[in-house]
A and B are shown apart, each in its own frame.
Chain A
């Protein structure tokens, strides 16, 4: 097998909070192949965003290392560009100038910069809105600008941190289509973080499930469904259910930690709604 594009070797991270020390990640080992669409999925607080930040170079691991093409990662760089949850676009720039920002830092000339930014905006189908300021764009459009901005750097690895978390479901469905189309077209290596199992199955080649506190790789599922996949599709739903089942223990534990101690999730059983007594009066 070829050398992995990205390799996490025993990455650990602890945080020191008011309630003491929290082991966020413990001995995370993961390889990402060239051109792979890898999804990290886990309950909230499992450290999946921390993994992404460490790969991006925005945070340091306490132990272990991240190798990119065999070389250790030491800080942030444009070879690993990030799409943040809320886009983190600059409101004082137009969509076009936002996409140009990274290219400008690279020292690309003005004309070529504009040209490349325009082609990436076309890739996310936003050519018409190149000169709009951010407040003139909808949430989904902003995330597409953010995607174009990250892709324009032509990174080795594209990191996406719950990029669709704040969007409504219709907008998300459109974006699932766009991102699959781009991935098929460019063969970009992507690491995508989400808590939504269906989203994970809909997009990924391989879904890595993390456990929480400490965050560890719990299981891996290769997804071989045909593309383009639809998030409402039966095949996606079935696969998602299998994975969700594996996640359930962790969710229960999280509920124990975050909710009041005397609260228990309701057992699922016979429906006690109007539907369940249907026929009683016949």
Chain B
């Protein structure tokens, strides 16, 4: 799960940055990304099973597909909303094209990037659970299926509560504090 999420961040952020700035890529790949986003990532499971076999690789692939597209789309939209005057200013100060990406576009779109990561995280969870429910690997989804098979609803509901709890904890501990820091710095706290 964590690996899958990390991989999607590593691919998704640069992809979003490039899509927002390179027009022909956006016109070709961009619509593909949007289209794929409407496809629930669990639909990739049959293919993933063929490609990777019955193991964690398949699950990681599904998680990556689930999170990657959400992250890419939010980063792309974030970068497109960066005021052009920042870019003009950076160019008059002699910033190289690379520096414009790393030192202007990236920090300028940080708020929407965090939103993207948050979205990606919840998509990753969804795909992970769906994957675990459908095909047996050891994990929370598997626990739920066990509960179902044993007609033990208390176990199913307990697992559901655990999932919600985990979601809340990550949101508060990781994204919450990150978001808070960015908002403070940008002066967005009223």
Assuming the A-B contacts A84-B85, A84-B88, A135-B187, are A92 and B94 also in contact, with contact meaning beta carbons closer than 8 angstroms in the complex? no
Contact B85 A86 (CB under 8 A): yes
Partner of B93, one of A58, A91, A92, A153: A153
A4 interfacial contact with B, CB 8 Å: no
A-side contacts of B88, CB under 8 Å: 58, 76, 82, 84, 88
* Chain A residue with Cβ nearest B111: A92
B91 touches A92 (CB 8 A): no
A149 / chain B contacts, CB cutoff of 8 Å: 93
Binds A, one of B100-108, B151-159, B170-178: B100-108
Q: How far is the CB of A106 from chain B (nearest CB, A)?
A: 6
Q: Of B92, B94, B96, B104, which one neighbours A90 at CB under 8 angstroms?
A: B104
What's the minimum C-beta distance from A85 to chain B, rounded to whole angstroms?
9
Q: Identify whether the interface residues of B are mostly helix, strand, loop, or mixed.
A: helix
**Which of the four size classes fits the interface of chain A?**
20 to 34
Flag if A78 contacts B187 (CB, 8 Å).
no
How far in angstroms is the closest Cβ of chain A from B135? 43
Report the tally of A-B residue pairs with Cβ distances under 8 A: 70
- Is A56 in contact with B107, judged by CB distance below 8 angstroms? no
Does B186 contact A92, Cβ atoms closer than 8 Å?
yes
Contact with B along A51-75 (1 / 0, CB 8 A): 0000011100000000000000001
Say yes or no for A102: interface residue by CB 8 A criterion.
yes
B166: Cβ under 8 A from any A Cβ: no
A176 at the interface (CB under 8 A from B): no
Give A60 to B95 CA distance when docked, in angstroms: 19
Q: Verify A133–B187 contact, CB threshold 8 A.
A: yes
The smallest beta-carbon distance between B102 and chain A, in angstroms, is 11
Q: Which residues of A contact B114 (CB under 8 A)?
A: none
Interface: A212 (CB within 8 A): no
A88-B86 CB under 8 A given contacts A76-B91, A101-B93, A105-B96 = yes
- The 8 Å CB contact of B92, one of A76, A93, A106, A134, is A76
Query: Which 8 A/B pairs are nearest by Cβ-Cβ distance?
Result: A135-B187, A102-B93, A78-B94, A88-B89, A76-B91, A88-B85, A92-B107, A82-B92
